[in-house]
Amino acid sequence: MKTRSMEVAGISVIVERKKIKNMYIRVLPPDGQVKVSVPDRTTNAAVTAFVTSHLAWIKKAKEKVANLPVQEIPQYQSGEKHMLWGRSYPLEVRDHASHSQVSLSDDRILLQVRGASTYEIRQKLMKQWYRTEMKTVMPEVLARCTQTVGQSPKEWRIKDMRTKWGTCNISQKRIWLNLQLAKMPPECLDYVVTHELVHLYEKNHNQRFYAYMDQFFPNWREVRKRLNREATP
Ligand SMILES: [Zn+2]
């Protein structure tokens, strides 16, 4: 396998020659590097022609990569950006003699930690804070959504879930909402609550289900797209 780079139409392209039958292009995250894999004996002219004929596709793919959320693992340290209800705030971590608490003040999230400020403690405090934020808005969101949908859960809980924004246990009439929703714009929580309540009419994601969604939350597709773009869950 031989790799070299060349420039085609102002784009830097990494060309990889190897034992394959067809040429193919990839646009790689995080920086949108274009990489072309080609059969061993392909000439530079053929590579150039191939890339040139895919310029529109490359441009689109580069945009997609640029819009990918940056997957950073937070350390919960001063200077980091953290989200609340779709807005980004700088985090300030401070030692606090008497107690630990998280608060939003002066357009920043203030994380005050009593005693040893380990990563685990900071993370736990932040999660508790997100949970409190969600608990604060939930009665209002639930009142609004149950009125629109005409169904109400017997019970709801906030869960720190990995793969789902929400779940509905239909027989128990119980909905679980992902803690991470507190980081998203408020309409995302409304959307997920509405979605889970609609499951009390219809178990499956079928036409009937989506007809209810269209009725109760007309721009649900847009909001869903936004949620799907997010890294977590
Ligand atoms: Zn569902």
pLDDT value, residue 85: 95
Shared domain for 184 and 125, answered yes or no, is no
- Report d(CA 133, CA 205) in Å as an integer: 30
Query: Between vectors from CA 212 to CA 208 and to CA 216, what angle results, nearest 5°?
Result: 170
> Residue 131 Cα, ligand 1 centroid: separation in angstroms?
22
Going from the Cα of 185 to the center of ligand 1, the distance in angstroms, rounded, reads 20
pLDDT category at 68 given cuts 50, 70, 90 is: low
Give the per-residue pLDDT at 64.
82
Q: Are residues 28 and 103 in the same domain?
A: no
Is the pLDDT score of 33 beyond 60? yes
Tell me the per-residue pLDDT of 78-90, one tens digit each, with 9 for 90 and over. 999 999 999 999 9
Task: Report yes or no on 76 lying in a domain.
Answer: no
CA-closest candidate to residue 121, choices 100, 97, 135: 100
Q: Which domain holds residue 100?
A: 81-129
- Average pLDDT, stretch 203-220? 97
Q: How many domains does the chain have?
A: 3
143 and 123 in a common domain: no
Q: Are residues 104 and 154 in the same domain?
A: no
Q: Does some domain include residue 141?
A: yes
179 and 222 both lie in a single domain: yes
Q: What is the DSSP string of 181-229?
A: GGGS-HHHHHHHHHHHHHTTT-SSSSHHHHHHHHHH-TTHHHHHHHHHH
How many Å lie between the centroid of ligand 1 and the Cα of residue 137?
22
- Contact call for residues 39 and 22 (beta carbons, < 8 A): yes
If you search the block for the tokens 């403690």, which residue do you land on?
A: 121
User: How far away, in angstroms, is 107 Cα from ligand 1 center?
Assistant: 35
